[in-house]
Chains A and B, each alone.
Chain A
Amino acid sequence: MTRTPEMLHVTVQRGTANDTRTEHFDVPARENQTVLDVVSWIQQEADPTLSYRFACRVGMCGSCAMMVNGVPRWTCRTHVSRVASGGRLDIAPLRNLPVIKDLATDMDPFFDKWVAAEARHHPTRGRLEEFDPIKPDAPDRTEANLGIECINCGICYAACDTVAGNPEYLGPAALQRAWTLLNDSRDADRPGILAAVSGKGGCHNCHSMGSCAQYCPNGLNPMRAIAGLKRETVKGALRGKRDA
């Protein structure tokens, strides 16, 4: 019979981008405890200078995403008992993003790539025109719906080794969002989206290693969306050659 350890041995990455260090804390173990509880305990009881982000603390906003024992997770939805073997926890800021301080990263590159992928709606109609009826079970709408629950928490971006190796790569979230708009019959700039995802940092860099789908807390599948983008860009290129 295993005894629940009384104390958790927690290592936390501290410091700024150019000056990181690892600090060790002993945190009281509780029967029901999330990693966010652990981080909050450290900041409230041990070291008030610890910087970290959270908001809803119930698994809806994605603000609390961090690397827990090397895996990107929502800390508010990660039970310590599930991830701490031998009572050890290693907590670090989300990978592939610049560190502002301690566990808080700069999300700007993540959002900039969202824009760079043309993953925003390009309207076709104004408010004085008839609205565009969309059938919810239309095939393109069904495909788009698979990706719209993304709350842009950055976990897929942190999980992806291609993002790690290729700083220009737009990343799973931005590309998935572009795919949802490509499948939106109300979007006016299909060619623009296809061009945006065909550049040096585009969808063709994806190696389908699937870490994005493996770790997405919402159960989304950016890899599938990126495969769709690859299909559409190749189709567009072949069609273009035939027209030329």
Chain B
Amino acid sequence: MLDLQLYMAQRLSALVMAPLVLGHIAVMIYAIQGGLSAAEILGRTQGSLLWFLFYGTFVVAVSIHAAIGVRVIAHEWLRLRGIALGMLTWGICATLLALGLSAVFAVTLP
């Protein structure tokens, strides 16, 4: 269940992500032309501050957004409550942050 703060965090992270999602889809449509390889990805992103900021922001926003979204589903459909619900929310946020930032670092570190 959401109170005002969680609701605003959800909406704000969504607004932040809207242009990022459009950018990501556009980049993907471009990038997959003629196949894709690890070297090709790294060739574009390695050492790039711009891609680091773009996908870094994306990862932070999606970690918050997905954690709150799954929180609501767990509450309404699985009847999760109290401490367990809070732990699930933070757990999802932390997992996505960790995995996501490791991916961002993996492709942008010089």
Residues of A within 8 A of B (CB): 161-162, 165-166, 168-169, 198-202, 204-205, 230, 233-234, 237
Q: For the complex formed, measure the closest distance between the CB of B6 and the CB atoms of chain A, giving whole angstroms.
A: 7
Question: In residues 1-56 of chain B, which contact A (Cβ within 8 Å)?
Answer: 1-4, 6-8, 11
| Contact across chains for B8 and A205 when beta carbons are under 8 A apart | no
A234 to B75, CA, bound (A): 23
Known: A162-B76, A166-B76, A234-B8. 6 other contacts (CB 8 A): A161-B76, A169-B1, A198-B3, A204-B2, A205-B2, A237-B8
Min CB distance B7 to A, Å, is 4
CB closest chain-B residue, reference A233: B4
Q: B residues within 8 A CB of A166?
A: 1, 75-76
Q: Is A204 in contact with B4, judged by CB distance below 8 angstroms? A: yes
Tally of contacts, chain A with chain B, CB under 8 A:
35
Chain B residue numbers with a CB within 8 Å of A237 are 4, 8
Interface size class of B (residues with CB under 8 A): 10 to 19
- Complex: how many Å from CA A165 to CA B72? 10
Chain B residues lying within 8 Å of A165, measured Cβ to Cβ, are: 75-77
Inter-subunit contact B77/A199 (CB<8 Å): no
Known contacts: A234-B8, A237-B8. The answer to whether A200 contacts B77 by CB under 8 A is: no
Write out the residue numbers on chain A whose beta carbons fall within 8 Å of the beta carbon of B7. Answer: 204, 230, 234
| Complex CA–CA separation, A166 to B1 (angstroms) | 7
Closest 5 pairs (CB-CB, A-B)? A165-B76, A204-B7, A198-B4, A204-B2, A200-B1
Give B70 Cβ to nearest chain A Cβ, in Å. 14
Verify A202–B4 contact, CB threshold 8 A. Answer: yes
User: In the complex, are the beta carbons of B6 and A204 less than 8 A apart?
Assistant: yes
6 contacts between A and B (CB under 8 A): A168-B1, A198-B3, A201-B1, A204-B3, A204-B4, A234-B7
Are B1 and A205 interface neighbours, CB within 8 A? yes
**B3: A residues at CB distance < 8 A:** 198-200, 202, 204
Give the distance in Å from the alpha carbon of A233 to the alpha carbon of B6 in the complex.
13
CB-defined contacts of A230 to chain B, threshold 8 Å = 7
Shortest C-beta distance, B10 to chain A (Å), equals 9
Closest to B7 in A: A204
Chain A residues closer than 8 Å to B4, beta-carbon distance: 198, 202, 204, 233-234, 237
List chain B residues, Cβ under 8 A from A201: 1
A204 to B4, CA, bound (A): 6
Proximity string of chain B (63-82) to chain A, C-beta cutoff 8 Å, 1 when within and 0 when not: 00000000010011100000
CA distance A8 to B46 in the complex (A): 72
Please report the C-alpha to C-alpha distance between residue A198 and residue B2 in the assembled complex, in whole angstroms.
Answer: 9
A169 partner residues in chain B, CB cutoff 8 A: 1
* A-chain residues with CB within 8 Å of residue B72 when the two chains form the complex: 205
Chain B: minimal CB distance from A218 (Å):
27
CA distance A237 to B11 in the complex (A): 14
The residue on A at minimum CB distance from B79 is A165
Beta-carbon nearest neighbor of A238 in chain B? B8
* Residues from chain B with Cβ under 8 Å of A204 in the complex: 2-4, 6-7
Residues of A close to B1: CB separation below 8 A: 166, 168-169, 200-201, 205
Chain A proximity of B13: nearest CB distance (Å): 14
Contacts of B2 in A (CB 8 A): 200, 204-205
